[in-house]
Structure 1
Amino acid sequence: MSERVMIAPVQKQVQVRAPIDHAFAVFTSGLNRWWPHTHGVGGKPISKVLIEPRLGGRWLEIAEDGTQTVVATITLWEPPQRFVMLWQIDAQWKPDAAMRSEVDVRFFAEDAETTRVELVHHKFETMGEAAGASMRRDVDGGWPGLLQRFVAEAERRSSSS
């Protein structure tokens, strides 16, 4: 009997100078404003990136030709505190509905104008040991820059509202 190797989760945290409702909305409904359109998995130039804001909703890439690619599926939706999604991307950064790593994003109001966002990307072992280790390395290096783009967008929009 073989034992499943556990792969350590990727854990990231950022502070946002914005109220919790605003931070959650920018992360989810405002995804197209901060997610780089060069970070696509569908293989075609991206026109739009969006999250359908509901349980069972999808993270979609919409290509310039209208093709939709599912990146993730929402498995828990608790605005403005938390959402969880199955990340349906393989280690070669291709869409794969069988993939089951998980991204858990939590929002904590530090005060009325500051939100702490904690992201945990885990369950890489569901991909297999080698593929999971490869994906973990990639997302560990990728999430910090992506989260900084989110913070910049949330703070820019918050100060102008």
Structure 2
Amino acid sequence: MAAPRPAETVTALRRPPIRQATTVRSDREHTFDVFVATIGQWWPLQPYSAGKDRVRGVHVEPRVDGRVYERWDDGTEVDWGRLLAWSPPERFVMTWNITPVPTEVELTFTALGPSLTRVAVEHRGWEALSEAQLGEDCARPGGYRGGAFVRGWEEILGAFAAAV
């Protein structure tokens, strides 16, 4: 008989990832394609972009190390991040350079039926930010600490669901 194991201590993450999801009435391939190919049409640029009303397009270079970026009316390009993983139509992972220190965003597309797809986002890597940076305003007031990123991803996924 094995000796009893000591009780394990579970430590809560001090800076847990942000997880949001939505379900859309569309097959997985189409859902992935709409997300990537038309991101500049459905993404709420006000307030979720660097250039706001100057943005003329948002683009995804569909390959590992491809850029995700916005282009302004004067030709300026602002990188949102680089693709770390690219597995259409299942998922992609990118750096998120919009935070004071780069974090990481993973989008997954899970078929729930022939015309039903769950789109989930996990925004992680908050350990890289200082305590002060965690509270800094981003597109919305309050930063990570104040729930701005939670609300932001809810709005972004809501805009996407409406577009599909």
TM (norm. structure 1) is 0.82
The percent of aligned pairs where both chains have the same amino acid is 32
Match of residue 24 from structure 1: 32
The answer to whether the 8 Å contact 2:45/2:53 transfers is no
The answer to whether the 8 Å contact 1:58/1:73 transfers is yes
- Which structure: greater helix fraction? 1
What is the CA-CA distance between 1:140 and the residue it aligns to? 0.9
Determine whether 1:8 maps to 2:10.
no
In structure 2, distance between residues paired with 1:58 and 1:42: 17
Structure 1, unmatched stretches of 5+, are: 92-98, 155-161
Determine whether 1:145 maps to 2:155.
yes
Match of residue 95 from structure 1: none
The answer to whether the 8 Å contact 1:126/1:132 transfers is no
In structure 1, distance between residues paired with 2:124 and 2:115: 29
The answer to whether the 8 Å contact 2:25/2:117 transfers is yes
Match of residue 159 from structure 1: none
Alignment match of 2:86 (pick from 77, 83, 106): 77
In structure 1, distance between residues paired with 2:68 and 2:59: 6
The answer to whether the 8 Å contact 1:101/1:121 transfers is yes
What one-letter code is carried by the residue in structure 1 that aligns with 2:157?
A: L
Structure 2, unmatched stretches of 5+, are: 1-12, 137-142
Match of residue 8 from structure 2: none
Secondary structure at the aligned position of 1:149 is classed as helix
What is the CA-CA distance between 1:125 and the residue it aligns to? 1.5
What is the CA-CA distance between 1:29 and the residue it aligns to? 1.4
Instruction: Flag the structure with more relative contact order, 1 or 2, with Cα contacts below 8 A and sequence separation at least 6.
Output: 1
TM (norm. structure 2) is 0.80
What one-letter code is carried by the residue in structure 1 that aligns with 2:129?
A: M
Match of residue 88 from structure 1: 97
What is the CA-CA distance between 1:44 and the residue it aligns to? 6.9
In structure 2, distance between residues paired with 1:60 and 1:31: 10
